[in-house]
Structure 1
Amino acid sequence: MDQLSAMRVFLRVVETGNFTRAAATLNMPKTTVTNMVQGLEAHLRTTLLNRTTRRVMVTTDGALYYERAQQILAELDELDGSMSNSQTQPSGRLRVEMAGAFADLLVVPNLCDFHDRFPKIRLDIGVGDRLVDYIAENVDCALRGGTPTDQSLIARKVGQMTMQAYAAPSYIQKFGAPVHPQDLEHDHFSVGYLNATAGRVMSIAFDKGEERIEVDPHYVVSVNDARSYVNAAISGLGVAQAPSFLVRDALEKGELVEVLQPWRCEPLPLYIVYPHTRHLSNKVRVFVDWLAKLVQSARLDDNRGQTGKLGQGTIPPE
């Protein structure tokens, strides 16, 4: 049995709803289509389709097989296309995930540049800090802060973000300024950051010379979005340890001030991650390369930034 051909025939039967229409669109005899699906079921030792005189219904196993076969054949077609002509303009739908702060301040303001370079790619951007099932949700890649722990993903480090502790003047006027990281466990409030993967508020670490202290913050509110995290600090709800690029405007406006000097925070690495099954896709490759250059041009590890406004950064020409 030619399993790939049988998979394509099975997909067409599911998509058209019956064997007769599938045979017509494939320009095959109906008996051939029927035999190929039966051969696939025999090979898999399961029933993929329930047949009646009027309709074909997909079984539970058939639905699962359809989803996976569809992904495999799409990737195979894309691979064949990239190998036959590596200069072909990348095209198709690209599903990307990233935190709202990255989308609003960095990526979306520069997407016209990406579209000018790759007009045939259609981007679907999911915004939020959440746990993603890359295969089930058909996500091609994601921009994430922190070192990835999922060994099933390919991770490419594209930069790092300068981190420091900040508080609102209204908070300092009410509670005073913390002078030691351990103050955040008892005498002061922090804004908690809820880790979507672990389901708990993240601890925060500070360094001074050879000394390193990690504290579990005492908080009255925790959030799982970077923008809400900073806004909570601006509102006076506690001390926040945040990327410097995210608080530039608030610092310029006097809405936040830096605290806990000379204690420093370790820079947060920034990665683009994608499943192993996506690594040969032209559309993923060009987007990852473009995004890596964009992150580097924004200089997220510099407190001053490139222009003060991330959306005004320029991407080096290719």
Structure 2
Amino acid sequence: MDRLEAMRVFTRIVELGSFTRAADDLSLPRATLTHTIKRLEERVGAHLLQRTTRRVRPTRDGEVYYNHCVRLLADLDAVEADFREAAVVPKGRLRIDLASSLARKVVIPALPAFFARYPQIELDIGTSDRFIDLVQEGVDCVLRGGDLPDSMMVGRRVATLSQVTVASAAYVKRHGLPQTLAELKDGHLAVNWTSPTTRRASPLEFMVGKRLREVPLPAPVAVSGTEAYLACCEAGLGIAQFPRYRVEEELARGTLVELLPATPPPPFPISVVYQSQRQLPLRLRVFIDWIVDVMEDVH
């Protein structure tokens, strides 16, 4: 195995934390990876990986060497891509993960136009609201709402959505229609949204002019999935907040009622997140550009 391929093997082992997982990912025998790393360590004159019973981690020298490898391989990929892409049609498989409501109501309905434009791209789509480790799970990009955590990933803002505070018609009949934020504290309930990552519950949020007000309310139920969040609200269990696109049909039917429109929730950012690379694969670049175009029509 040549030096560049050995570098690719080493970086994949570091990223996946396992010889076995890296071997599966690279479609190589595990023994080949073990031999490659042994020869690589002999060549650089340093111990690059340390093995525990649960995970393989880079040594201090390994971390330095990993960072150099990532930069060198990215430069090489960029040089080769510059020569290839002028004559290459975007093709290949992309693994993407979408927030479930965005997938169902926005992205998937628009996919026929994407495949008409890029017939040689295949999409492997996951839908969830949980945190996705792109490197560990082999995902090319994710589309997520909310503020992004600090990470080594790149986040590109694709939309900022207006939000509404809603309750079911049955809830309003039972508890009344609050006219002010102060009235919320008088016998009203919330459906608590909990972060799939931190498991912390978020209070209801309202913009009073340019000032953000948080209003925590008693909550009989807490959920961490958008579909369950909506179902609980429709069942009359409490007040909830959504991007307007997500509940516009329910508002039009009258099954949900908008509350306190003069003090709406803050805008909700939507971002596409992918690994930091100097040169993205062409199939990923065109997909991201397409997502940006699709989200321009969502408010």
Normalising by structure 1, what TM-score?
Answer: 0.73
Which amino acid is 1:15 matched to?
A: L
- How many Å separate the matches in 2 of 1:92 and 1:270? 26
1:12-161 matched pairs, under 5 angstroms: 15-16=28-29, 38-42=38-42, 43=44, 45-46=46-47, 61=56, 79=78, 81-87=80-86, 88-161=88-161
Deviation at 1:226, TM superposition (A): 1.8
**In the superposition, relative to structure 1, how do residues 211 and 74 fare at CA in structure 2: closer, same or farther (>3 Å)?**
closer
**In the superposition, relative to structure 1, how do residues 151 and 16 fare at CA in structure 2: closer, same or farther (>3 Å)?**
closer
Deviation at 1:281, TM superposition (A): 1.8
**In the superposition, relative to structure 1, how do residues 47 and 206 fare at CA in structure 2: closer, same or farther (>3 Å)?**
closer
1:115-264 matched pairs, under 5 angstroms: 115-185=115-185, 187-264=187-264
Match of residue 14 from structure 2: none
**In the superposition, relative to structure 1, how do residues 85 and 211 fare at CA in structure 2: closer, same or farther (>3 Å)?**
closer
- How many Å separate the matches in 1 of 2:244 and 2:209? 21
Identity in percent? 31
Which amino acid is 1:236 matched to?
A: G
**Is 1:295 equivalent to 2:295 in the alignment?**
yes
Contact 1:134 1:275 in 2 (8 A): yes
Who wins on radius of gyration, i.e. which is larger? 1
Match of residue 3 from structure 1: 3
Deviation at 1:207, TM superposition (A): 1.9
Which amino acid is 1:85 matched to?
A: R
**In the superposition, relative to structure 1, how do residues 275 and 93 fare at CA in structure 2: closer, same or farther (>3 Å)?**
same
Which amino acid is 2:123 matched to?
A: L
Match of residue 275 from structure 1: 275
Which amino acid is 1:296 matched to?
A: E
**In the superposition, relative to structure 1, how do residues 93 and 79 fare at CA in structure 2: closer, same or farther (>3 Å)?**
farther
Which consecutive residues of structure 2, in runs of 5 or more, have no partner in the other structure? 11-21
Between the two proteins, the alignment pairs up a number of residues equal to 273
**In the superposition, relative to structure 1, how do residues 178 and 77 fare at CA in structure 2: closer, same or farther (>3 Å)?**
same
Which amino acid is 1:195 matched to?
A: S
Deviation at 1:179, TM superposition (A): 2.6
- How many Å separate the matches in 2 of 1:150 and 1:285? 22
Which consecutive residues of structure 1, in runs of 5 or more, have no partner in the other structure? 23-33, 49-58, 302-318
Normalising by structure 2, what TM-score?
Answer: 0.77
- How many Å separate the matches in 1 of 2:9 and 2:232? 55
**SS of residue paired to 2:94:** strand
Contact 2:78 2:278 in 1 (8 A): no
**In the superposition, relative to structure 1, how do residues 287 and 217 fare at CA in structure 2: closer, same or farther (>3 Å)?**
farther
Match of residue 307 from structure 1: none
- How many Å separate the matches in 2 of 1:176 and 1:131? 37
**SS of residue paired to 2:220:** strand
**In the superposition, relative to structure 1, how do residues 38 and 236 fare at CA in structure 2: closer, same or farther (>3 Å)?**
closer
Contact 1:79 1:281 in 2 (8 A): no
Contact 1:278 1:284 in 2 (8 A): no
**SS of residue paired to 2:164:** strand
Deviation at 1:236, TM superposition (A): 0.7
Contact 2:92 2:283 in 1 (8 A): yes
Deviation at 1:7, TM superposition (A): 4.6
Cα deviation code 1:16-49 (max 9, x no counterpart) = 4667xx9xxxxxxxxxxx7x7653142374599x
- How many Å separate the matches in 2 of 1:9 and 1:228? 42
**RMSD between aligned alpha carbons?**
3.6
Contact 2:206 2:266 in 1 (8 A): yes
Which amino acid is 1:196 matched to?
A: P
Contact 2:159 2:270 in 1 (8 A): yes
- How many Å separate the matches in 1 of 2:37 and 2:263? 66
